[in-house]
């Protein structure tokens, strides 16, 4: 029975998650606004119009319409929001007390943020540029450590394309992306990160880089230069300190860390 219900719910997803959430929030705020009008109508009747029921009638009709719109939104949108039957029922019941929809909306928003943080992942790409047993490394602004040049891959690009974009922004030169060498999965705070390291073949082009003359080098970095990785406590990630640049460049299988 539950599988059949889940299948029917899945087939009824008329909106994306973001679209459904925006529409639900709009309906929740609208229903709460209807309560504000109704309460205001009662106060006007009691204090200003001395028993005239017109303000209450008008406010009641508007509130009733917004109430029905909210209930319709709950029924139509809950498949797209992937709500359980229990949460959907609660979403309908909270419209009974004044401003219950606002409280429910805030609670759901909190749950969505927490779930998003738990599932948040980043793909990071870095370039291995070797010259005379040294690695080209960058020191980001306000950082005491050095990293291989790279950064976050955008949603609309491949890892090699991201590496070319970032290294060119830092150095002014386009890298020739070669072999995939390392894949490192780790967690920073509540973010799971997957870093992939490519060997850059045209390493001879990266001598005497002037950060001021690069598109973003002077904005994002304090320094750039070649470092010996072996036992270098300033270089991150730490696995790079346990080898030499020559070993890193040696052909072989991809190393998963």
| Superfamily classification of domain 121-256 | Nucleoside Triphosphate Pyrophosphohydrolase (3.90.79.10)
**Using CA of residue 99, residue 101, residue 107, residue 113, what is the dihedral sign?**
negative
Choose the weakest-confidence range: 134-138, 177-181, 186-190. Answer: 186-190
- Residue in 230, 226, 243, 231 with CA at minimum distance from that of residue 135: 226
Please report the DSSP string for 104-117 in residue order: HHHHHHHHHHHHHH
Residue 227's pLDDT is: 92
Residue 1's pLDDT is: 46
The two structure tokens encoding residue 23: 């529409």
Q: For the chain, give the mean pLDDT.
A: 88
Helices assigned H by DSSP within the chain: 2-11, 17-47, 54-81, 85-93, 100-119, 159-171, 217-220, 245-249
Across the strands, what pairs with 192?
Answer: 121, 187
Residue 148's pLDDT is: 95
C-alpha dihedral, 147 to 158 to 254 to 202, nearest 10°: -60
Residues 255, 257: Cα–Cα separation, whole Å: 6
- pLDDT band at residue 171 using 50, 70 and 90 as cut-offs: very high
Residue 49's pLDDT is: 77
């Amino acid at each position: 029975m539950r599988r059949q219900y889940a299948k029917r719910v899945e087939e009824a997803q008329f909106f994306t998650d973001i679209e459904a959430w925006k529409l639900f929030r709009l309906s929740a705020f609208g229903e709460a606004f209807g309560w504000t009008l109704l309460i205001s109508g009662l106060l006007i009747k009691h204090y200003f119009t001395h028993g005239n029921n017109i303000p209450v009638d008008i406010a009641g009709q508007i509130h009733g319409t917004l109430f029905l719109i909210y209930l319709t939104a709950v029924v139509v949108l809950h498949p797209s929001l992937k709500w359980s039957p229990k949460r959907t029922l609660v979403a309908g019941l909270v419209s009974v007390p004044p401003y219950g929809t606002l409280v429910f909306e805030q609670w759901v928003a909190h749950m969505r943020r927490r779930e998003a943080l738990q599932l948040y992942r980043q793909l990071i790409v870095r370039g291995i540029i070797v010259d005379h047993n040294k690695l080209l490394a960058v020191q980001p602004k306000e950082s005491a450590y050095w990293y291989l040049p790279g950064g976050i891959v955008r949603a609309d690009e491949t890892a090699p394309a991201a590496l070319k974009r970032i290294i060119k922004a830092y150095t002014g030169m386009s890298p020739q992306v070669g072999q995939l060498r390392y894949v490192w999965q780790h967690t920073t705070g509540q973010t799971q990160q997957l870093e992939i390291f490519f060997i850059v073949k045209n390493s001879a082009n990266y001598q005497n880089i002037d950060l001021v003359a690069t598109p973003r080098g002077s904005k994002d970095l304090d320094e750039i230069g070649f470092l010996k990785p072996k036992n270098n406590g300033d270089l991150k990630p730490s696995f790079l300190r346990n080898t030499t640049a020559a070993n890193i460049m040696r052909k072989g299988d991809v190393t998963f860390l």
